[in-house]
Amino acid sequence: FLPALDSGAPCALLDVPVVSDHADPHIGHLLGLTLSRAATLRHLADALPQGAARARLAAAAQAHLAAGLPAVDRGDFTTDHWLATFAELAQTAAGSRTR
């Protein structure tokens, strides 16, 4: 699983997706992907021992969460009605590190 993760080598899976139009119902799905990745990356980070790989996954999870949360209440029905579920999963995962 991503053997070069702890070396700092580029890894597209850790990049936050670029959402060019938040109102576009197709592109808007990248917002859900962003929040889903935030949750998954946090869980993966929590499963690793302390070290560079864990820190990198945790930082990527936080970046995804920070990028995705503002989209949850933009007032656009095309995304607002379902993004809250992904936001809750991401925030719950973010809280898992304190358990």
The C-alpha atoms of residue 67 and residue 71 are separated, in whole angstroms, by: 8
The C-alpha atoms of residue 67 and residue 86 are separated, in whole angstroms, by: 13
The C-alpha atoms of residue 38 and residue 33 are separated, in whole angstroms, by: 8
The C-alpha atoms of residue 18 and residue 29 are separated, in whole angstroms, by: 11
Q: Where are the domains of the chain?
A: 38-99
| pLDDT tens per residue across span 31-68 | 999 999 999 999 999 999 999 999 999 999 999 999 99
Structure tokens at 32: 């859900």
- Prediction pTM value: 0.87
